[in-house]
Amino acid sequence: NLKKHFPIKSSIPFKKSTQFVKAVDGVSFDLYKGETLGIVGESGCGKSTVARLINQLISPTEGVVEFKGTDLASLNTKDIRSARKSIQMVFQNPYASLDPRKTIEYLVAEPLVIHGIGDEASRKKRVIELLETVGLSAYHAKRHPHEFSGGQRQRINIARALALNPDIVVCDEPVSALDVSVQAQVINLLKDLQKEFGLTYIFISHDLNVVNYMCDRIAVMYLGKIVEIGTYKEIYENPQHPYTQALLSAIPKENPFDAKERIILSGDVPSPVNPPSGCAFHKRCRFAMEKCATMQPTLDTVTATHQVSCHLFEAIQQEVPTP
């Protein structure tokens, strides 16, 4: 039940804000060892905030993040450090996330220095090992970020994320800033590393094509909430939520004869300051019913692995006679 509500600065000096951006508003999910969980949705749906909450970069307004059964907020300083080592992050922008004044050796070794791991000689060795792991080499260690392409810089970021042998890597739009041809290389690298090191990924993206290729399970977010979650097969082949259906219909198909009607969403994503009442999607939903404007749907079970939050699904369920 994670929530993150950011206060909006009040326009009256010294007056406390009474308005909040509900960036994440009651999100629950499990993450299983070795899997890749995709989180998709339009920009502003709260997916990056979920990532930052999991990485303890910000703390939740409400709710908990449990790692191996322990609430991360309840840990003492020493255990927080070790939990931080276990959960690493790769950010979207490979240009902004590397300090241009530092060498690659410095940047990749930095997490080791922060956590007091090894001496200088052993860290140097480890950096070369990490660079080789991501397809670079010792030759690159003394260079600076501007000497690298976007794809190479994302490799450097990945090497940094791997330096502390994490269990979980949260990737926030890791390939969105890259050319399509380079995207595939970085995604394949992430897949190979997952196999090699038994990593668990949270993979955040607005691009369903990328998520389809990468993920075992997918959570679809809309205005701070998960509206549908399931295995990638369930989401792609049997999407239940009108929003998921619209997102999927926008993916270009390889065979144009397979293409279903493209569902155009009317209007913009509403503001998370005053989200619409009832189902937050009701103003853009082509199936909206009267109760959608007033009653918030709950996440209901489609299968053991598939859940959806929509009154339409409840209505279908009620029509099915119980045996």
Strand partners, 225: 222
**Secondary structure (H, E, C), 277-291:** CCCCCCCCCCCCCHH
The closest alpha carbon to 157, from 211, 87, 84, 99, belongs to 99
Residue 48, contacted partner among Mg ion, ligand SF4, none, CB below 5-8 A by kind: Mg ion
Residues near 129 by Cβ (< 8 Å), separated by ≥ 6?
none
Q: At which residue do the structure tokens 């979650």 appear? A: 229
Q: Measured between alpha carbons, how far is residue 260 from residues 66, 76, 236, 256 in Å? A: 40, 53, 13, 9
* Binding pattern for the stretch 241-260 against ligand SF4, x by CB under 6 A and - elsewhere: xx------------------
* Contact status: 263 vs ligand SF4 (CB under 6 A): no
Stretch of 15-23, 144-152, 253-261, 289-297 contacting ligand SF4, by CB under 6 A: 289-297
* Contact status: 292 vs ligand SF4 (CB under 6 A): yes
What is the separation, in whole angstroms, between the first and last Cα of the chain?
Answer: 34
* Contact status: 51 vs ligand SF4 (CB under 6 A): no
* Contact status: 312 vs ligand SF4 (CB under 6 A): yes
Min dist CB 63 to ligand SF4, Å, is 23
Cα(145)–Cα(104) distance, rounded to whole angstroms?
7
Strand partners, 217: 37, 231
**To the nearest 5 percent, what fractions of the chain are helix, strand and coil?**
35, 20, 45
* Contact status: 281 vs ligand SF4 (CB under 6 A): yes
State the sign of the Cα–Cα–Cα–Cα dihedral 223, 66, 69, 112: positive
What number of residues does the chain have?
323
Strand partners, 88: 169
* Contact status: 308 vs ligand SF4 (CB under 6 A): no
Residue 51 or 218 with smaller CB distance to ligand SF4:
218
Q: Name the amino acid, one letter, at 201.
A: Y
Binding residue for ligand SF4, selected from 5, 217, 225, 282, defined by CB under 6 A: 282
Residue 158 or 218 with smaller CB distance to ligand SF4:
218
Min dist CB 3 to Mg ion, Å, is 18
| Residue 6 in tokens | 């950011």
Residue 184 or 265 with smaller CB distance to ligand SF4:
265
Min dist CB 279 to ligand SF4, Å, is 3
Min dist CB 289 to ligand SF4, Å, is 6
Residue 287, contacted partner among ligand SF4, Mg ion, none, CB below 5-8 A by kind: ligand SF4
Residue 200 or 240 with smaller CB distance to ligand SF4:
240
Residue 311, contacted partner among ligand SF4, Mg ion, none, CB below 5-8 A by kind: ligand SF4
> Strand, helix or coil at 27?
strand
Interface residues with ligand SF4 (CB under 6 A) are: 241-242, 279, 281-282, 285, 287-289, 292, 297, 310-312
